[in-house]
């Protein structure tokens, strides 16, 4: 039936084209559009994946590709879209013995397009490729004026070799490495490495699959030239000719606003994959008696997943099945029926890359039975294995113990080890940020006069003040020790946040003194020599340094620079902010 439907589509040209913009990450200008294909809207072959799967099974891949190419070219010319057209072509289509490359050029010119506006986008789909023939085909297309792009870099069998052999003008990074890049240092390093290779080889990088603002900003800050994805613009039959105002505003923000992992622990984020167990699976066609036998033969097995063609459908628990079969006549009635009868069809399913913190929150928010039943672990929607609530709780507890060992016991903020790790991580990431040293003035005299318990209250006050006025997704707060703290700002409005810290702390501090001292603005006390000295109210000094890529190389250097800025701030009376602007470019004066 599907074959007949495919043949009808080919004969009647029942395909339609949609286009997704590819935008400049620095300018916001549209470079061009990737042409995508769709089958009939009410058809089982609507998606390109289904189309090409059926075509491949029935040896119609080349015919389908040729039709797709014509439909996309015709529609692109008809819409008179600006910029370049990225045209998907498989390497095997280019290598067909009867491939008539000159006819492609003639057809494009008949549609009013020049070849320099068309980029041949190669998607690797086979484990073996004749690279010699492919190089020759690429040379022919280049001689005709076309450019070459490699699609889905990082996904295929040997896409890096394809890059080396063809030396394409454009390289498109597979969306797997872009989605969640702001939370995954491994993906971040991969993309940075690709960008470095591209710089040396003369290729232009395009990031695919940008779906969030955080991904957009980080991709831009890494210097990636172009990007595409749902956050920029979705594929449409009538695509936009310019980006939305919101996206352009995002791209024109100051650099280094991308929210890299807030806590250093995220550099080594533990995911659901660590908890994965291999357990027997059953198919929906298996009988309840067969599933019962699986449980009987494995007394430790508590849950089995029901999987069909790699897709998880549900869970069957030992307790539920055995409880049912323990009732009179139920096994006789239902033993030979499909196991889906007693299946939980709404199990907890999580991707292998889900962090344990996210997974734990999801289970807490869901029905309590998920904690006992466990969860299914997938990759790209395909079943991988199972995880148990017991293992999740054990791992979360261990992580909390580890985090607590590095936290300051008074404020529970990260201590020196995670502070240094996070600074080094930001430096390695190559992004701009601001380091702010926080120190209290006149704290020791206050502590001596009012006692350590009152002193602890002041330390907690500055801690909560910092937390209140920092962006939890962009800024890092660390407690060095005593009355010293460090802020690592990635938020754009960091200077306003500093001013808010000063104002909040200044308004709250008087109540920590006796009424007379609060009204007087301080208190008298004897110094070490027995002289009566007036000490003003405890105030806060902030010393800020701007850290640009390549300027510093370790947390030691940044700590020294921030401490120097803090010393300058402490020379200013009261709650004060000093910003070291010596590294910033100066405006020329005419």
Domain layout of the chain by residue ranges: 17-251, 272-395, 407-580
**What confidence score (pLDDT) does residue 585 get?**
43
Longest CA pairwise span in the chain (Å):
103
Q: Is the pLDDT of residue 452 over 70?
A: yes
CATH 3.30.830.10 fits 272-395, yes or no: no
Under CATH, to which class is 407-580 assigned?
alpha beta
What strand order describes the sheet that includes 375-379? 348-351, 375-379, 382-387
Question: Tokens 């449980």 sit at which residue?
Answer: 295
**What confidence score (pLDDT) does residue 439 get?**
96
Report CA-CA distances (Å) from 122 to 94, 149, 153, 159.
9, 6, 10, 10
pLDDT, average across residues 509-537: 88
Secondary structure element (H or E) that encloses residue 30, with its range? strand 30-38
Q: Is the pLDDT of residue 461 over 60?
A: yes
Under CATH, to which class is 17-251 assigned?
alpha beta
Q: What is the pLDDT of residues 148-176, one digit of tens each?
A: 998 877 665 457 778 888 889 999 999 98
Q: Which of 103-107, 273-277, 399-403 has the highest mean pLDDT?
A: 273-277
505 against 198, higher pLDDT: 505
Give the DSSP letter string of 553-570. -SHHHHHHHHHHHHHHHH
CA neighbor of 182 nearest in space, from 280, 250, 128, 261: 261
585 against 533, higher pLDDT: 533
pLDDT, average across residues 533-559: 92
The span from the CA of 279 to the CA of 304, in Å, is 7
pLDDT band at 208 (very low <50, low <70, confident <90, very high): very high
**What confidence score (pLDDT) does residue 99 get?**
53
**What confidence score (pLDDT) does residue 103 get?**
65
For residues 54 and 2, is the Cβ–Cβ distance under 8 A? yes
pLDDT, average across residues 321-335: 87
Computed over every residue of the chain, the mean pLDDT equals 86
**What confidence score (pLDDT) does residue 443 get?**
94
For residues 188 and 181, is the Cβ–Cβ distance under 8 A? yes
Q: Which residues contact 474 (CB under 8 A, 6 or more apart)?
A: 257, 259, 262, 489, 490, 491
Q: What is the pLDDT of residues 253-282, one digit of tens each?
A: 654 333 343 333 344 467 888 899 888 999
Task: State the sign of the Cα–Cα–Cα–Cα dihedral 212, 213, 216, 221.
Answer: negative
For residues 294 and 304, is the Cβ–Cβ distance under 8 A? yes
């Amino acid at each position: 039936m599907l074959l007949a439907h495919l043949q009808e589509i080919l004969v009647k040209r029942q395909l339609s084209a949609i286009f997704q913009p590819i935008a400049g990450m620095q300018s916001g200008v549209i470079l061009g559009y990737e042409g995508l294909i769709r089958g009939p809207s009410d058809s089982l072959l609507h998606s390109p994946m289904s189309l090409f799967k059926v075509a491949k099974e029935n040896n119609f891949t080349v015919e389908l590709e040729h039709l797709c190419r014509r439909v996309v070219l015709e529609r692109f010319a008809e819409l008179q879209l600006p910029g370049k057209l990225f045209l998907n072509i498989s390497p095997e289509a280019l290598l067909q013995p009867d491939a008539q490359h000159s006819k492609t050029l003639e057809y494009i010119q008949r549609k009013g397009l020049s070849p320099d506006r068309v980029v041949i986008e190669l998607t690797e789909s086979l484990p073996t490729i004749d690279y010699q023939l492919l190089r020759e085909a690429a040379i022919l297309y280049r001689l005709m004026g076309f450019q070459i792009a490699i699609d889905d870099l990082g996904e295929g069998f040997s896409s890096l070799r394809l890059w080396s052999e063809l030396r394409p003008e454009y390289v498109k990074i597979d969306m797997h490495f872009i989605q969640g890049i702001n939370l995954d240092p491994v993906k971040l390093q991969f993309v940075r490495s690709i960008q470095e290779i591209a710089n040396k080889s003369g290729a232009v990088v395009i990031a695919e699959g940008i779906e969030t603002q955080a991904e957009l900003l980080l991709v831009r800050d890494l210097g990636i030239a172009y990007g595409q994805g749902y956050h920029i613009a979705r594929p449409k039959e009538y695509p936009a000719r310019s980006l939305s105002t919101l996206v352009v505003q995002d791209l024109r923000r100051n650099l280094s606003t991308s929210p890299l992992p807030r806590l250093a622990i995220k550099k080594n984020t533990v995911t659901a994959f660590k908890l994965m167990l291999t357990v027997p699976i059953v198919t929906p066609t298996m009988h309840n008696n067969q599933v019962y036998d699986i449980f009987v033969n494995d007394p430790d097995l508590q849950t089995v997943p029901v999987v069909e063609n790699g897709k998880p459908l549900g869970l069957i628990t030992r307790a539920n099945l055995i409880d049912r079969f323990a009732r009179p006549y139920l096994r006789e009635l239902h033993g030979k029926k499909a196991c889906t009868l007693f299946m939980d069809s709404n199990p907890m399913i999580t991707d292998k890359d889900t962090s344990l913190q996210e997974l734990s929150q999801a289970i807490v928010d869901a029905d309590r039975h998920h904690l006992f039943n466990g969860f299914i672990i997938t990759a790209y929607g395909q079943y991988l294995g199972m995880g148990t609530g017991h293992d999740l709780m054990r791992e979360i507890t261990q992580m909390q113990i580890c985090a607590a060992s590095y936290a300051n016991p008074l404020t529970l903020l990260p201590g020196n080890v995670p502070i240094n790790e996070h600074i080094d991580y930001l430096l390695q990431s190559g992004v701009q940020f601001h380091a702010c040293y926080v120190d209290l003035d006149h704290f020791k005299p206050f502590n001596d006069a009012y006692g350590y318990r009152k002193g602890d209250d002041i330390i907690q006050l500055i801690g909560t003040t910092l937390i209140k006025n920092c962006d939890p997704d962009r800024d890092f707060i660390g407690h060095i020790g005593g009355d010293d703290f460090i802020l690592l700002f990635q938020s754009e409005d960091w200077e306003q946040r500093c001013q808010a810290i000063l104002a909040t702390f200044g308004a709250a501090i008087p109540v920590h003194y006796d009424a007379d001292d609060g009204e007087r603005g301080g208190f008298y006390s004897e110094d070490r020599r027995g002289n009566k000295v007036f000490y003003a109210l405890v105030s806060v000094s902030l010393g800020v340094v701007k850290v640009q890529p390549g300027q510093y190389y370790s947390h030691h250097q940044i700590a020294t620079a921030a401490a120097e800025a803090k010393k300058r701030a402490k020379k200013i009376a009261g709650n004060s902010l000093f910003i070291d602007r010596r590294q910033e470019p100066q405006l020329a004066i005419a």
